[in-house]
Amino acid sequence: MFAKGAEEEQLGDMEGLCFHWPLNSETIVSMALVGAIIGAASGGWINDAYGRKKATLLADVVFTAGAVVMAAAPNPYVLILGRFFVGLGVGIASVTAPVYIAETSPSEIRGGLVSTNVLMITGGQFLSYLVNLAFTEVEGTWRWMLGVSAIPAVIQFFLMLCMPESPRWLFMKNEKDKAIAVLSNIYEIARLEDEVDHLSAAEEEERQRKKTVRYLDVFRTKEIRLAFLAGAGLQALQQFTGINTVMYYSPTIVQMAGFNSNKLALLLSLIVAAMNAAGTVVGIYLIDHFGRKNLALSSLSGVIVSLVILSGAFFAKTTGSSNGIYGWLAVIGLALYIAFFAPGMGPVPWTLNSEIYPEQYRGICGGMSATVNWISNLIVAQTFLTIAEAEGTGVTFLILAGIALLAVVL
């Protein structure tokens, strides 16, 4: 997330340094998403084969390598390669983190802890803007901005070495003694026995069905097919309702609203990122008290209203009105969008996907759902500015509002 913010902020500077290479904003933003799609697609298999801990360590190594390559890139081609590796690490981690957290958490706080993963992402986006400001006056600005993103991955790598493997995965691999040792650090004796019995029953059920789950198996059983439809559908609609468009392009959106100062645009975008992180904190509390479905529905209702406000502000501005109130109305719509989206549609898809699949399908379905998320992310990132330029920003936000309405139906 550090890298995302840094890359966006330094886009113009990098294009100047790269000279005659025809890069544009959408392509640069989207390169890491290609890696993330591949990482997420392979992440489910890596998780099931080698465990959640090793998958996390691998993601950290790949991400760190990508950050170093980007910072040292002598030409655009090497820069793009570094972005691909960063995306690969992010993709693997996006599959692994929710599953690992869910499998090592007591059920009564599982939703809140899985949502903490989303908080780390939104918090990282906020910190990336602060990093941008800190390195603005430093020589070789964009290289420092991209290179510093390796630091969180290195820290996580060494901390993860001290963490246990998922007890559920250990049970799946017949390492019951290790699993019970891990569970004993999570539950009291009475709960421990219940949890061991539950895992034993799940293991026996899996053994009776089949040892190897393949991708096509997801679509052969009605209950798994419906679960995947719900999980992957929410992941896709999380992106198609525009959240990462707002985060990637918030400085651009603020400037489209009439705030032409780069510093003011960055400051307002910093406030938007801070609201995103704060909203996620609210979601951590609400998701275990308000319920997943209710939280998603209330979140989407607010998102629709916010997108209509944004659309109206840009429609009014394109009519030629010089009234500055429309610019501020767009910023208010942007802030309301984040305030409604962050507590609900931010954490709910990830939490739901960590809960709704049977044990033997959890890794592969989680990986497939995360892949859907990243593909949707790529489509939106590649098309938002193009559609906004062709049809107008007001129409673009109206399209997103229509998609949010479809999400309510789902």
Whichever domain contains 236, its CATH number is 1.20.1250.20
Per-range mean pLDDT, top range of 12-16, 162-166, 332-336: 162-166
Domain boundary among 189, 209, 229: 209
Q: What pLDDT does 21 receive? A: 39
Task: Say if residue 39's pLDDT is above 50.
Answer: yes
Task: Say if residue 19's pLDDT is above 90.
Answer: no
Domain boundary among 163, 197, 232: 163
| 292 shares a domain with 242 | yes
Q: pLDDT category, 129, cuts 50, 70, 90?
A: confident
Domain boundary among 129, 144, 163: 163
Q: Average pLDDT of the chain?
A: 82
31 burial type by CB count under 10 A (0-12 exposed, 13-18 middle, 19+ buried): buried
| 130 shares a domain with 70 | yes
Q: Which of 64-68, 208-212, 299-303, 316-320 has the lowest mean pLDDT?
A: 208-212
Q: Is residue 255 part of a domain?
A: yes
Residues 230, 352 contacting (CB under 8 angstroms): yes
| 128 shares a domain with 88 | yes
| 196 shares a domain with 54 | no
Give residue-wise pLDDT tens across range 21-38: 344 555 666 788 889 889
Mean pLDDT for the stretch of residues 241-260: 71
| 260 shares a domain with 138 | no
Residues 381, 29 contacting (CB under 8 angstroms): yes
| 45 shares a domain with 173 | no
Task: Say if residue 45's pLDDT is above 80.
Answer: yes
Inter-axis angle of helices 222-240 and 243-256, to 10 degrees? 10
Q: Which of 151-155, 176-180, 406-410 has the lowest mean pLDDT?
A: 176-180
Phi and psi based region of residue 163 (left: phi greater than 0; alpha: psi -120 to 50; beta: remaining): beta
Between 400 and 210, whose confidence is greater?
400
CA distances from 161 to 75, 88, 97, 172 (A): 35, 21, 15, 21
Residue 61's CB is within 10 A of a number of other CB atoms, namely 15
Q: How many Å apart are CA 335 and CA 103, to the nearest integer? A: 34
Q: Is residue 158 part of a domain?
A: yes
| 275 shares a domain with 397 | yes
Q: How many Å apart are CA 62 and CA 55, to the nearest integer? A: 11
Mean pLDDT for the stretch of residues 143-170: 91
Task: Say if residue 259's pLDDT is above 90.
Answer: no
| 171 shares a domain with 159 | no
**By percentage, how much of the chain surpasses pLDDT 70?**
84
Q: Nearest to residue 41, comparing CAs of 347, 354, 361, 369?
A: 369
Q: What pLDDT does 265 receive? A: 67
Task: Say if residue 264's pLDDT is above 60.
Answer: yes
* Count: domains in the chain: 3
| 340 shares a domain with 308 | yes
Amino acid identity of residue 176, one-letter, is K
Q: What pLDDT does 22 receive? A: 40
Mean pLDDT for the stretch of residues 304-329: 80
Task: Say if residue 80's pLDDT is above 80.
Answer: yes
Q: Is residue 2 part of a domain?
A: no
| 371 shares a domain with 274 | yes
Between 5 and 400, whose confidence is greater?
400
Task: Say if residue 317's pLDDT is above 90.
Answer: no
Q: Which of 116-125, 316-325, 377-386 has the lowest mean pLDDT?
A: 316-325
Task: Say if residue 4's pLDDT is above 80.
Answer: no
Q: What pLDDT does 308 receive? A: 93
| 343 shares a domain with 382 | yes
Q: Is residue 251 part of a domain?
A: yes
Q: Is the full-model pTM beyond 0.75? A: no
**Structural domain harbouring 174:** 164-209
Mean pLDDT for the stretch of residues 259-267: 68
